[in-house]
Amino acid sequence: MLQLLRTEQISDKINKGESEQKSERWRENKMSKVVVFDHPLIQHKLSIMRDKNTGTKEFRELLSEIAMLMVFEVTRDLETEEIEVETPITTCKCKVLSGKKLGIVPILRAGLGMVDGVINLVPAARVGHIGLYRDPKTLEPVEYYCKLPEDSENRELLILDPMLATGGSASAAINFIKQRGCHHMRLVNLIAAPEGIKRIQQDHPDVDIYVAALDDHLNDHGYIVPGLGDAGDRLFGTK
């Protein structure tokens, strides 16, 4: 089951801390949609990831598994075409993928933990990478690495990052990718804060957002509450 949230519901979570969510699709004011996956398997695995006692190995495996489960639904609306296939018994009409091919772009470093799960589901997808750091003086995101597939402008790109906190890095990454001629993107996050979703919708109303959980708010240090801590550190065993 999926939950598609209205823009005002996200604003309510920012302004009032409300957690009630309604299931509805919308395209008001050409804003992007926000899809929250409440599938029992995803929620079960995410609960284990949130636990501070979950070790690096299990955390890494769960992130990959959730990414695969999420992308199964993210790709639900991919275009197909009908072809004729000859089985050992007879011929029949079958459907195969058509239209734009897929590309995967993890935001370094934590986004790397979602790649294998997606590749297991879509092995033909091309993989790019983008890395950002925050300038200590201007506090603005700066691109330090970006390499995309040669035909990325003709692909449907899935931007991967476990956490959508302030939305600054994700918004900047999408900007840098758009500057390279890519305009068909979807953002896939494990956990999001309302502030991050609001930022992406303001900056990139053409980019739909898919998350496994929409948490309450950001704390004074910019961490998602309740969240799961620093996804990169927990993924790679660093501090």
* pLDDT tens per residue, range 37-68: 999 999 999 999 999 999 999 999 999 999 99
Estimate the crossing angle of helix 168-178 against helix 194-203, to 10 degrees: 20
The tokens describing 79, both together, are 């275009």
The residue type of 212 is: A
Report whether pLDDT(17) > 60: no
- Concerning whether 50 is annotated as a catalytic residue, the answer is no
Report whether pLDDT(194) > 70: yes
Predicted confidence at residue 3, as pLDDT, reads 65
Both ends of the chain: CA-CA distance in Å? 36
- Concerning whether 238 is annotated as a catalytic residue, the answer is no
Q: Which of 12, 116, 216, 230 is catalytic?
A: 230
Q: Which of 87, 90, 91, 138 is catalytic?
A: 138
Confidence band (pLDDT; 50, 70, 90) for 9?
A: low
Q: Which of 80, 151, 233, 238 is catalytic?
A: 233
Q: How far apart are CA 198 and CA 80, in angstroms?
A: 32
Q: Which of 134, 151, 180, 238 is catalytic?
A: 134
Q: How far apart are CA 105 and CA 177, in angstroms?
A: 9
Q: How far apart are CA 129 and CA 201, in angstroms?
A: 23
Q: Where are the alpha helices (DSSP H) in 16-55?
A: 40-50
**What is the sign of the dihedral through the CA atoms of 46, 220, 35 and 119?**
negative
Q: pTM score, two decimals?
A: 0.86
Which residues, other chains included, contact 52 with Cβ-Cβ below 8 Å and sequence gap of 6+?
229
The tokens describing 106, both together, are 């993890």
CA angle 115, 117, 118 (to 5 degrees): 65
- Concerning whether 138 is annotated as a catalytic residue, the answer is yes
The rounded percent of the chain whose pLDDT value lies above 90 is 79
Q: How far apart are CA 94 and CA 81, in angstroms?
A: 8
Task: Kindly report which listed range (24-28, 134-138, 173-177, 198-202) carries the lowest average pLDDT score.
Answer: 24-28
- Concerning whether 206 is annotated as a catalytic residue, the answer is no
pLDDT tens-place string over residues 108-132: 999 999 999 999 999 999 999 999 9
Q: How far apart are CA 32 and CA 6, in angstroms?
A: 10
Average pLDDT, the chain: 89
The rounded percent of the chain whose pLDDT value lies above 70 is 87
Provide the pairing of β-strand 141-147 with 91-97. Answer: unpaired
Q: How far apart are CA 235 and CA 239, in angstroms?
A: 10
53: left (phi over 0), alpha (psi -120 to 50) or beta: alpha
Burial 11-38 (b: 16+ CB within 10 A, else e): ebbbeeeeeebeeeeeeeeebbbbbbbe
